Amino acid sequence: MRKRNGFSFVELLVAFTLFTLLAGIAVVQLGSVRQRVFTGVLKSDLRNFAIAQESFHYDNDVYAADTTALQARGYQLSTGTQITVNEATVAGWAATASHSATSVLCYMFVPGAAPVGLATTPGVIACG
């Protein structure tokens, strides 16, 4: 009887196939987790934006039409996040948040402004 050293070709092929299958599943799960993380960043930035808008409105009796007016007061966006003000009036505002690392968009509006994107309830963030 011969002494075996190492693995046979079939054993290596089976191990490689299982490893590839598990790696494929992990990559899909990682993409899903990554998207949820960026959606959370967008929601957080929109909440902070809403607070900054209310502060700006308290001092100026009008909502800021862009984020630069709020950034001068200390408001900062997360890296890669962009907020577009769709509407800003004396009565309300609507905004869209996007991130460079995902195609998900988040929307928010307050009473006095028209609904934007998927947002249908004032003050509630909707993402999709």
pLDDT at residue 42, rounded to an integer: 96
Strand order in the sheet with 126-127: 81-88, 93-99, 105-109, 126-127
Residue 6, sorted as left (phi over 0), alpha (psi -120 to 50) or beta, turns out to be left
The answer to whether the CB of 88 falls within 8 A of the CB of 96 is no
The reported pLDDT for the residue numbered 9 is 86
Closest CA to 104 of 28, 37, 50: 37
pLDDT greater than 90 at residue 116: yes
Per the CB < 8 A criterion, the answer to whether 123 and 110 are in contact is yes
pLDDT score, position 54 = 94
More confident residue, 119 or 11: 119
Q: What is the pLDDT of residue 23?
A: 80
Percent of the residues in the chain that have a pLDDT greater than 70, as a whole number: 97
Least confident of 21-25, 28-32, 73-77: 28-32
Q: What pLDDT digit, counting tens, does each position of 40-86 carry?
A: 999 999 999 999 999 999 999 999 998 999 988 889 999 999 999 99
